A and B are shown apart, each in its own frame.
Chain A
Amino acid sequence: MSIVVEQLVKSYDGHPVVNQVSLRVAEGELFVLLGPSGSGKSTVLRMIAGLTDIDSGRVLLHGRDVTGLPPQKRRVGFVFQHYALFRHMTVAGNIEFPLRIRKVPEADIRHRRDELLDLVGLVGFQGRYPQQLSGGQRQRVALARALAHQPDVLLLDEPFGALDAKIRGDLRRTVRDIQRELRIATIFVTHDQEEAFELADRLGVMNFGRLLEVGPPDELYLRPETEFVATFLGTANLMVGEVTPSGVRLGPVEFPLGNMKGAAGEGRRVQVLFRPEDVAVKDSQEALSWPLLGKAVVEESSFVGSYERLRLRLPPLLGTRPIAPPAPFGGDSIRIEASRSQHQSRRYPLHPGEAAWVGVRRVHALIHPGLSMLILTDGTPEAQAALDFGGQVAVRAHARVTLLAHGFGDDSAARQHLQEAKEAIGSGLASIVTRIAREGAPEAVAEEASREHFDLLVKGLPARGRPELLDRLLQTGQHNLLLVPKPRPVPARVLVCVSVGEPAKEDVLFAARLVRHLGAEATILTVLPEGRDAQDLEHARRFLTACMRTMWLLGVNAKTLVGGCGWRGWCGTW
């Protein structure tokens, strides 16, 4: 392995921007790190180069542990987004710089410089100053300079981010050709998925500091495991279906699926993905040789070069809820994205308002269940705290959220409030739907919970403690309850209190799921009742250690703590 990164962590002000990232890049491989801005991908790259300090974790280059080494000693070539050329030096001066630093003999310097100018296609430009070059030419100089000292690995940080589309294409091919020719292990950071697909041998997708999935581009596109990767790579039609003995069910249609075999939980909810090109559109039910979803109305059709994009509206499917594209506000229909080749669209032209039969050629079920949350609001300050905190948790967990307004006098005030809440949470969610209930909170929650399962119910802590209300809220469904006392940032440390015994295992599993999304550390605490002896303490410790291991397995850093009262009335923690 040329590049090995183990459990990299970087936090600013207690919040992890890079959270337990591990990856491996093979000899001669071009690995692309893809993610939205702020996902931590550039920070990972900078930590590999030694330009950003590492909080914890290791970096190995060709088996050499460079974690503690300064950038000068890491033998990496780094290309910056904004070129970072030395403007008081000519093109030749820039390229020769790493060689002069190393006191390479003059003749060799000239030879190597000419070689590199030839490699990046800038022969004849050696006498120019950087500001006399175009953006694309500058980045070619930066590339040549980064390769001059024959580094072990090449790191490129959004190198084409500041360039226009045509030049990006040219440079992409240049980078690909050079990388192939030199067979140098390379990590390329970008937020542009087209670039990622074109360049990558393998691809890693990052979001909120975590490396979510790694694999060949086609594998990640066709068979993603997480909701984020499914919706971030390309356009996705993503719906919640149901697990059946042989596959998954979407409304009336059952799809046999290999990867669902043996998956536990018949009747369990599962996220089902199909891509626009998997959607078949025909003029009659008979012409459709694929499983039929229903008769749809064309909402929009647009010409995008080599293919045609259709947006279709289907009537609701029983037991199915759309995640992406998001359902239209206030409606109950399902939107579907489809694409057709120019050839197909010429044979069967479709215009907005016309009807067509829609089928699906193939579907894929996601293995990782996303988190689904129900946030309650009645417009009070306590409810606002729940909205703020719940929203932050939801964004980090990339959760599906239902906002439920209750206790509002009239619907328009409720709608207004929900719209504002939705905007405040912003983007980054798998889906967000809003509902307005006229009845009280427990009844409204019970109704929502009967329609679908929620992992977490978020509610502001009432001004006066009303335990019977909370009891009723908990009894209305299978959800966990999160009470938010006042506005606060997302925690960096979480205390998980458990009692020793079987029910606690479920709690630890759920806590791990939640805490992992927050990027926080956990402390698992149990309090021993009075009058327990050393044997009980030992038992509790063993139990907590098992909990801790489970959490580690699920990617959460955890510690344990036992509290209680010992002999002579001394109370504290062990």
Chain B
Amino acid sequence: MKERGVLPGFGLTLGFTLFYLTLIVLIPLAATFYKTSALTWSEFWSATTAPRVMASYRLSFGASLVAALTNVVFGLLVAWVLIRYDFPGRRFVDMLVDLPFALPTAVAGITLTSLYSGNGWIGRFLEPLGIKAAFSPLGVVIALTFIGLPFVVRTVQPVLLEMDPEVEQAAASLGAGRWSIVTRIILPGIVPALLTGFTLAFARGLGEYGSIVFISGNMPMRTEITPLLIVTKLEQYDYAGATAIAVVMLVISFALLLAINLLQHWSRRRIGGAGIDGAGA
């Protein structure tokens, strides 16, 4: 016997969910593939593997990866400080973390560009060191790091909060030093949440457009990201070429997300549900 839920309406809500997903996600995705089918295989191949397009793939995926990894390290640190210590202004700092969510990406792009350009507040110190931050791939990484930070912090925070300090105390009384407690006890416990945060930040980085077009300078072969290339093609009325690149992005992103999800599933099962989905046990 299946237990009756307290709230009725499973059929209605599931129906709505499917309809909604179809309308919002599936139809546009299908349209992308449909549009692409106007091309022959060789046209498709040449449109998606042109040197300029290949360079943009490298930048988009590479910068997203670097930015997401940076956020994994520093986002964890931020989350740790916010959860484990109480200091004046903690709530304010906690609020600041959400700012990249709320800020229009174009505003972020303009701000970062003016900060990191050769005569900006930060850029003027980097320039003499031979580091060109704005209008370079580094600029793209900086923008994506800014955009991705909340994803890591917000996924790791609840897991850290839920961690029982007694477990660390137990490790200490068993002889583990600080380093061992961090590497053997705390980190393994938050790996699934970190993976989730990484995935979200990475996916967000792949799709980011608004902030990057300002800071990257959009130089073909050097600082042109794939979404920008798609926009450029669209502006030249090359719809089929644009959607072809979009399909490649879509497939690679999907494959990557699937791989990370599988990894996550495996690690979460190993530690018995101590991931973002809560208590377990």
| Complex interface bits, A9-24 against B, C-beta within 8 A gives 1, otherwise 0 | 0000000000000000
- Known contacts: A51-B172, A74-B173, A101-B175. The answer to whether A82 contacts B164 by CB under 8 A is yes
8 Å CB contacts to A: which residues of B173-194? 173-177, 180, 184-185, 188-189
- Known contacts: A80-B166, A131-B272, A131-B273. The answer to whether A88 contacts B188 by CB under 8 A is yes
8 Å CB contacts to A: which residues of B224-281? 270-274, 280-281
Asked if A88 and B189 sit within 8 Å, CB to CB, the answer is yes
17 A-B pairs (CB sep. < 8 Å): A49-B173, A50-B172, A51-B169, A72-B172, A72-B173, A72-B177, A76-B173, A80-B166, A80-B169, A84-B167, A85-B170, A86-B167, A87-B272, A87-B281, A88-B189, A132-B272, A149-B175
Asked if A98 and B280 sit within 8 Å, CB to CB, the answer is no
B184 to chain A, nearest CB (A): 8
With CB as the reference atom, state the residue of chain B lying closest to A93. Answer: B184
> B271 to chain A: which residues have CB within 8 Å?
87-88, 129
With CB as the reference atom, state the residue of chain A lying closest to B189. Answer: A88
Determine if B171 is an interface residue (Cβ-Cβ < 8 Å): yes
From A51, A70, A86, A148, contact of B185 by CB (8 A): A86
Asked if A84 and B272 sit within 8 Å, CB to CB, the answer is no
Q: How far is the CA of A146 from the CA of B184 in the complex (A)?
A: 17
With CB as the reference atom, state the residue of chain A lying closest to B174. Answer: A98
> A146 to chain B: which residues have CB within 8 Å?
173-174
> B167 to chain A: which residues have CB within 8 Å?
84-86
Q: How far is the CA of A130 from the CA of B170 in the complex (A)?
A: 15
Asked if A130 and B272 sit within 8 Å, CB to CB, the answer is yes
With CB as the reference atom, state the residue of chain B lying closest to A133. Answer: B281
Give me the interface of B with A, judged by CB distance under 8 Å.
164, 166-167, 169-177, 180, 184-185, 188-189, 270-274, 280-281
> Besides A82-B166, A101-B176, 16 other CB < 8 A contacts?
A50-B173, A71-B169, A72-B173, A72-B177, A74-B173, A76-B173, A85-B170, A87-B189, A87-B274, A88-B188, A88-B271, A97-B184, A101-B174, A101-B175, A102-B175, A130-B281
Q: How far is the CA of A132 from the CA of B273 in the complex (A)?
A: 12
Q: How far is the CA of A87 from the CA of B184 in the complex (A)?
A: 11
Q: How far is the CA of A303 from the CA of B188 in the complex (A)?
A: 53
Asked if A71 and B172 sit within 8 Å, CB to CB, the answer is yes
Give the most central of A72, A74, A130, A145: most B CB within 10 Å: A72
> B189 to chain A: which residues have CB within 8 Å?
87-88
Q: How far is the CA of A551 from the CA of B200 in the complex (A)?
A: 66
Asked if A72 and B273 sit within 8 Å, CB to CB, the answer is no
> B170 to chain A: which residues have CB within 8 Å?
78, 80, 84-86, 142, 145
8 Å CB contacts to B: which residues of A25-48? none
With CB as the reference atom, state the residue of chain A lying closest to B274. Answer: A87
Asked if A129 and B272 sit within 8 Å, CB to CB, the answer is yes
- Known contacts: A84-B167, A86-B167, A88-B271. The answer to whether A97 contacts B172 by CB under 8 A is no
Determine if A77 is an interface residue (Cβ-Cβ < 8 Å): yes
B194 to chain A, nearest CB (A): 13
Asked if B270 and A88 sit within 8 Å, CB to CB, the answer is yes
A155 to chain B, nearest CB (A): 8
With CB as the reference atom, state the residue of chain B lying closest to A132. Answer: B272
> B175 to chain A: which residues have CB within 8 Å?
72, 98, 101-102, 149
Give me the interface of A with B, judged by CB distance under 8 Å.
49-51, 70-72, 74, 76-78, 80, 82, 84-88, 97-98, 101-102, 129-132, 142, 145-146, 148-149
With CB as the reference atom, state the residue of chain B lying closest to A86. Answer: B185
B34 to chain A, nearest CB (A): 46
A9 to chain B, nearest CB (A): 21
With CB as the reference atom, state the residue of chain B lying closest to A89. Answer: B188
From B166, B176, B188, B280, contact of A72 by CB (8 A): B176
> A130 to chain B: which residues have CB within 8 Å?
272, 281
> B188 to chain A: which residues have CB within 8 Å?
88
Asked if B173 and A51 sit within 8 Å, CB to CB, the answer is yes
> B280 to chain A: which residues have CB within 8 Å?
87, 131
Q: How far is the CA of A76 from the CA of B174 in the complex (A)?
A: 8
> B166 to chain A: which residues have CB within 8 Å?
80, 82, 84
> B274 to chain A: which residues have CB within 8 Å?
87-88
> A70 to chain B: which residues have CB within 8 Å?
172
With CB as the reference atom, state the residue of chain B lying closest to A138. Answer: B281
Q: How far is the CA of A131 from the CA of B172 in the complex (A)?
A: 22
From B174, B176, B281, contact of A131 by CB (8 A): B281
Q: How far is the CA of A198 from the CA of B174 in the complex (A)?
A: 28
From A78, A86, A87, A132, contact of B173 by CB (8 A): A78
A24 to chain B, nearest CB (A): 22
> B270 to chain A: which residues have CB within 8 Å?
88, 129
> B169 to chain A: which residues have CB within 8 Å?
51, 71, 78, 80, 84
Asked if B171 and A97 sit within 8 Å, CB to CB, the answer is yes
With CB as the reference atom, state the residue of chain B lying closest to A148. Answer: B174
B171 to chain A, nearest CB (A): 7
A42 to chain B, nearest CB (A): 11
Nearest 3 A/B pairs, CB to CB: A88-B271, A131-B281, A98-B174
Q: How far is the CA of A451 from the CA of B21 in the complex (A)?
A: 83
Q: How far is the CA of A82 from the CA of B164 in the complex (A)?
A: 10
> A49 to chain B: which residues have CB within 8 Å?
173
Q: How far is the CA of A132 from the CA of B189 in the complex (A)?
A: 17
Asked if B171 and A86 sit within 8 Å, CB to CB, the answer is yes
Asked if A97 and B281 sit within 8 Å, CB to CB, the answer is no
Give the most central of A50, A71, A142: most B CB within 10 Å: A71
Q: How far is the CA of A84 from the CA of B185 in the complex (A)?
A: 11
Q: How far is the CA of A145 from the CA of B167 in the complex (A)?
A: 12
With CB as the reference atom, state the residue of chain A lying closest to B172. Answer: A71
A494 to chain B, nearest CB (A): 32
> B185 to chain A: which residues have CB within 8 Å?
86
Q: How far is the CA of A70 from the CA of B272 in the complex (A)?
A: 31
> A74 to chain B: which residues have CB within 8 Å?
173
A101 to chain B, nearest CB (A): 5
> B184 to chain A: which residues have CB within 8 Å?
97
A73 to chain B, nearest CB (A): 8
Q: How far is the CA of A132 from the CA of B281 in the complex (A)?
A: 8
> A50 to chain B: which residues have CB within 8 Å?
172-173
B121 to chain A, nearest CB (A): 44
Q: How far is the CA of A74 from the CA of B173 in the complex (A)?
A: 8
A289 to chain B, nearest CB (A): 56
B136 to chain A, nearest CB (A): 41
With CB as the reference atom, state the residue of chain A lying closest to B272. Answer: A131
> A145 to chain B: which residues have CB within 8 Å?
170, 174
